[in-house]
């Protein structure tokens, strides 16, 4: 198989994986912001349980594949020897705040796009462009000089996985941390009978978590050149949206990838689910005020997502599946930013930090 054929196969596998998680998310109304809002304003926890079950599944399967030798997580940039703590915190806060303004995350925008939401199309384009500007464009110098330069460097040949930081490079430590996190996430999610009996939500969570591990497996085993090995990765939806936009414009001068396939696969899968349910509804902005809010929120998600090195999927699932310390920091910051954004929308001003955890 030639390099171009292999590249196409990998991209199609990314499209397939993205289509599956887009279909599952649309069917079960999977939404990270929705989970945060339900917990903050009421007693419902079904979306939170779905999100945590997906995380637990991703962690369990990804770590199993790593321990069995099918993938090498230590080659991923998420387990590098530098902890980008400032980018994770500041970028996570910006992304979470932007997510609240838009009403969903970058992944959620692609899911909405598949259902006919033209607001999501505009927001996706803005997120991709501002993300690319922050990654390698006009904002990149600011990020490199003031954000990335503050990273904490670990000793050479070491990794920032929680198991290695706590127990050193050992299978036993990896197993202990994996079991602990899976118990706290998937275990807690399944404690409620009503959730266990909700087949659609349980299957959607298991599907999304499995797809994360699938991404790690594909990018770890296919297209790896002995002289120029690629870093393995799985689904993420800020930086790849920028790459997908660039590929659409200069396809003859750029290459496809698993992540680009995933970007196109999610709205395709979402459209299939919407079409089957006769739920494809064309929607647009109600007024200029809503458009400004979406544009601003999408820009914050693009900038913050690159600074934090991922989104609610890229860090909240793909990154956490590697047990990366930066991913846990970024995910916590995204949740905090979302809470700030929610309170801002409701009250018209930013709450004090001491009031953030108090329900309005």
Sign for the CA dihedral angle at 331, 333, 337, 343 comes to: positive
Within 13 Å and on the Cβ side, how many CA atoms surround 194? 5
| pLDDT by 10s per residue, the chain, length 360 | 677 788 899 999 999 999 999 999 999 999 999 999 888 887 788 999 999 999 999 999 999 999 999 998 999 999 988 999 999 999 999 999 999 999 999 999 999 999 999 999 999 999 999 999 999 999 999 999 999 999 999 987 788 999 999 998 889 999 999 999 999 999 999 999 999 999 999 999 999 999 999 999 999 988 665 445 678 999 999 999 999 999 999 887 778 899 999 999 999 999 999 999 999 999 999 899 999 999 999 999 999 999 999 999 999 999 999 999 999 999 999 999 999 999 888 877 776 665 666 665
pLDDT at 227: 46
Residue 301 CB coordination number (10 Å): 37
Comparing CA positions, the residue from 285, 305, 259 lying closest to residue 127 is: 305
Residue 147 CB coordination number (10 Å): 21
Comparing CA positions, the residue from 247, 265, 269, 246 lying closest to residue 256 is: 247
The Cα 119–Cα 159 span in angstroms is 40
pLDDT at 168: 87
pLDDT at 349: 72
Residue 23 CB coordination number (10 Å): 24
Helix, strand or coil, per DSSP, at residue 82: strand
Q: In sequence order, which residues have a C-beta less than 8 Å from that of residue 146 and are 6 or more positions away?
A: none
The Cα 263–Cα 242 span in angstroms is 10
Written as one string, the DSSP assignment of 191-253 is: T-HHHHT-HHHHHHHHHHHHHHHHHHHHHHHSS--SSSPPPP----SSHHHHHHHHHHH-GGG
Comparing CA positions, the residue from 351, 309, 354, 352 lying closest to residue 331 is: 309
The Cα 51–Cα 168 span in angstroms is 29
Residue 170 CB coordination number (10 Å): 11
Comparing CA positions, the residue from 239, 248, 280, 244 lying closest to residue 261 is: 244
pLDDT at 6: 86
pLDDT at 157: 78
- Token digits for 137? 């464009």
What residue spans of the chain are helical by DSSP H? 3-28, 32-41, 46-67, 85-86, 92-102, 106-114, 118-136, 140-142, 162-167, 171-182, 188-189, 193-196, 199-221, 239-249, 258-276, 288-307, 325-347
Is 176 exposed, middle or buried (CB count within 10 Å of its CB: 0-12, 13-18, 19+)?
A: middle
pLDDT at 217: 96
């Amino acid at each position: 198989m030639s390099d171009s054929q292999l590249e196409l196969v990998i991209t199609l596998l990314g499209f397939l994986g993205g289509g599956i998680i887009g279909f599952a998310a649309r069917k079960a109304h999977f939404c990270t912001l929705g989970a945060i809002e339900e917990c903050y304003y009421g007693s419902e926890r079904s979306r939170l349980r779905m999100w945590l079950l997906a995380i637990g599944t991703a962690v369990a399967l990804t770590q199993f594949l790593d321990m069995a030798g099918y993938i090498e997580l230590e080659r991923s940039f998420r387990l590098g020897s530098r902890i980008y703590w400032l980018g994770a915190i500041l970028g996570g806060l910006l992304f979470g705040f932007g997510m609240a303004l838009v009403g969903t995350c970058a992944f959620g925008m692609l899911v909405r796009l598949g259902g006919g939401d033209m607001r999501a199309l505009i927001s996706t384009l803005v997120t991709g462009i501002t993300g690319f500007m922050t990654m390698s464009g006009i904002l990149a110098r600011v990020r490199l000089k003031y954000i990335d330069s503050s990273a904490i460097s670990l000793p050479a040949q070491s990794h920032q996985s929680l198991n290695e930081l706590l127990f050193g490079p050992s299978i036993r430590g990896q197993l202990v941390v994996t079991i602990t996190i899976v118990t706290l996430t998937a275990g807690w999610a399944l404690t409620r009978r009503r959730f266990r009996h909700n087949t659609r939500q349980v299957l959607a969570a298991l599907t999304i978590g499995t797809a994360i591990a699938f991404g790690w497996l594909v990018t770890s085993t296919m297209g790896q050149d002995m002289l120029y090995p690629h870093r393995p990765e799985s689904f993420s939806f800020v930086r790849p949206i920028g790459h997908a936009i660039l590929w659409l414009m200069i396809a003859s001068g750029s290459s496809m990838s698993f992540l680009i396939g995933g970007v196109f696969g999610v709205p395709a899968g979402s459209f299939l689910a919407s079409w089957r349910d006769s739920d494809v509804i064309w929607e647009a902005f109600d007024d200029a005020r809503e458009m400004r809010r979406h544009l601003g929120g999408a820009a914050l998600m693009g900038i913050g997502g690159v600074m934090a090195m991922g989104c609610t999927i890229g860090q909240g699932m793909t990154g956490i599946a590697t047990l990366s310390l930066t991913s846990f920091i970024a995910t916590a910051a995204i949740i905090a930013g979302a809470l700030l954004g929610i309170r801002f929308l409701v009250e018209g001003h930013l709450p004090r930090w001491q009031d953030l955890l108090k329900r309005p």
